[in-house]
Amino acid sequence: DRVLLTGVINISVPVRSVCVCLCFHVTGARVVVSARTYADFTPQATFDIKKCDLHKLEEGPPLQAVLTREEGLQYYRTMQTIRRMELKADQLYKQKIIRGFCHLYDGQEACAVGIETGINLSDHLITAYRAHGYTLTRGGTVREIMAELTGRRGGIAKGKGGSMHMYTKHFYGGNGIVGAQVPLGAGVALACKYLGNNEICVCLYGDGAANQGQIFETYNMASLWKLPCIFICENNKYGMGTSVERAAASTDYYKRGDFIPGLRLDGMDVLCVREATKFAAEHCRSGKGPILMELQTYRYHGHSMSDPGVSYRTREEIQEVRSKSDPISMLKDRMLSNNMASVEELKEIDVEVRKEIEDAAQFATTDPEPPLDDLCNHIFYNDPPMEVRGTNPWTKLKSVS
């Protein structure tokens, strides 16, 4: 847990002026608030959320979600951080400071944030390559993430992994091979069951990956062995440039687990995602075996930075989602219309987030690249130092664990 900032905000409210002191944890579901609020902000409100489509389930998550002011501010901050971080990455990529693959997550923030609020940091999570958002929610810092994208020694993987290979505690990446992370996630769940630690594994994949054979192999074993695994399909409607209708004989991804119960829900609504995740986590922890969630979401960027994202979908479609279903706007509107926060307060958060991103980008562009001595390190764990052949027979490089 990290205390990111302590700020003093003066808010003028018609009746009286207010002094508010807030401490935020950006990562994790827990928020500590030491607030002296005399405000007449609503401390919490109940929101109706869309009903989930159910598969092989008698009942689903609740139709209402309670959101406290603190939670709302935290979700807002985290989603905004992911949004701005991804946009900054876009910028740096166009400046050629980030290279190679860069798969951006903007638009899908409610998924990463909602899921994390439904589980604990002691639970486990694995996803595919569109992983920057999850690296953050799982405990990574913006600095380390950006420095990894720019390939510097301060990167979360010391510059050796790049965009698709970021790891933190109980977060197994960042995986480049489509679908390969799904059996891995079930394996993590197997370990949870084996060790009897009441932890679960959230195992994510996209609509493109959903047709992979190894995923069906995994459904089978997870179900047979009742592994505590939440399979989550982030359906953003396009597998690279191929729309779901052109790739899948059945686009009811929440039903594709067949014998595995499933839910389909609005992945743009952080509260929907949270409630469904809580529901799914409870299902797994009670020993019922795996469960499948399909989050209907959308990515604003193309598949990766080399894809403009408009050859297979229209700008109008993208614009429509942005104006009608943006996850951050949705939360903001909810909070403002229920007097749970003020416009100025949220703007203040925006400013802080922007600064954090700027500082991180500054670090990411000025931190030195990894030293050449590091080239051959980390081949093996817990092994004595060894020699590695260089590019020619006379070059012998050193490798330490």
Partner 1 sequence: MNTLLIVLLIIMEISQIHFLYVTVRDALNQALDEELERDERVFLLGEEVAQYDGAYKVSRGLWKKYGDKRIIDTPITEMGFAGIAVGAAMAGLRPICEFMTFNFSMQAIDQVINSAAKTYYMSAGLQPVPIVFRGPNGASAGVAAQHSQCFAAWYGHCPGLKVVSPWSAEDAKGLLKSAIRDDNPVVFLENELMYGVPFEMSEEAQSKDFLLPIGKAKIERQGNHVTLVSHSRMVSLCLDAAAVLAKEGIECEVINMRTIRPLDAEAIETSVMKTNHLITVEGGWPQFGVGAEILARIMEGPAFNFLDAPAVRVTGVDIPMPYAKILEDNSIPQIKDIIFSVKKTLNV
Task: State the residues that interact with partner 1 by CB under 8 A.
Answer: 124, 126, 157-161, 165, 167-168, 172-173, 175-177, 180, 182-192, 194-195, 201, 213-214, 217-218, 220-221, 224-225, 374, 377-383, 386, 388, 393, 401
Residue 61 or residue 174: which is nearer to partner 1 going by CB? 174
Residue 46 or residue 197: which is nearer to partner 1 going by CB? 197
Under a CB-based contact definition with an 8 Å cutoff, are residues 209 and 240 in contact?
Answer: no
Identify the bridge partners of residue 320 per DSSP, sorted by sequence position.
none
Under a CB-based contact definition with an 8 Å cutoff, are residues 309 and 302 in contact?
Answer: yes
How near is the Cβ of 41 to partner 1 at its closest, in Å? Answer: 41
User: Hey, is 365 helix, strand or coil?
Assistant: helix
Residue 113 or residue 157: which is nearer to partner 1 going by CB? 157
Residue in the block written with tokens 């569109």:
130
- Phi, psi (5° rounding) for residue 45? -145, 160
> What CA–CA distance (Å, rounded) separates 20 from 9?
6
Tell how strand 238-239 and strand 262-266 pair up: unpaired
How near is the Cβ of 386 to partner 1 at its closest, in Å? Answer: 7
What is residue 52's DSSP assignment?
A: P
Residue 146 or residue 192: which is nearer to partner 1 going by CB? 192
Radius of gyration of the chain from its Cα atoms, rounded to whole angstroms: 22
How near is the Cβ of 378 to partner 1 at its closest, in Å? Answer: 4
Residue in the block written with tokens 């403002």:
336
Closest-CA residue to 75 (of 274, 326, 220)? 274
Residue 311 or residue 391: which is nearer to partner 1 going by CB? 391
What is residue 124's DSSP assignment?
A: E
Q: Which helix (DSSP H) or strand (DSSP E) does residue 390 occupy?
A: none
Residue 63: CB atoms within 10 Å = 13
> What CA–CA distance (Å, rounded) separates 105 from 277?
19
How near is the Cβ of 226 to partner 1 at its closest, in Å? Answer: 12
Residue 3 or residue 177: which is nearer to partner 1 going by CB? 177
Handedness of CA 316, 318, 324, 329 (dihedral sign): negative
How near is the Cβ of 179 to partner 1 at its closest, in Å? Answer: 9
> What CA–CA distance (Å, rounded) separates 37 from 50?
32
Q: Which helix (DSSP H) or strand (DSSP E) does residue 164 occupy?
A: none
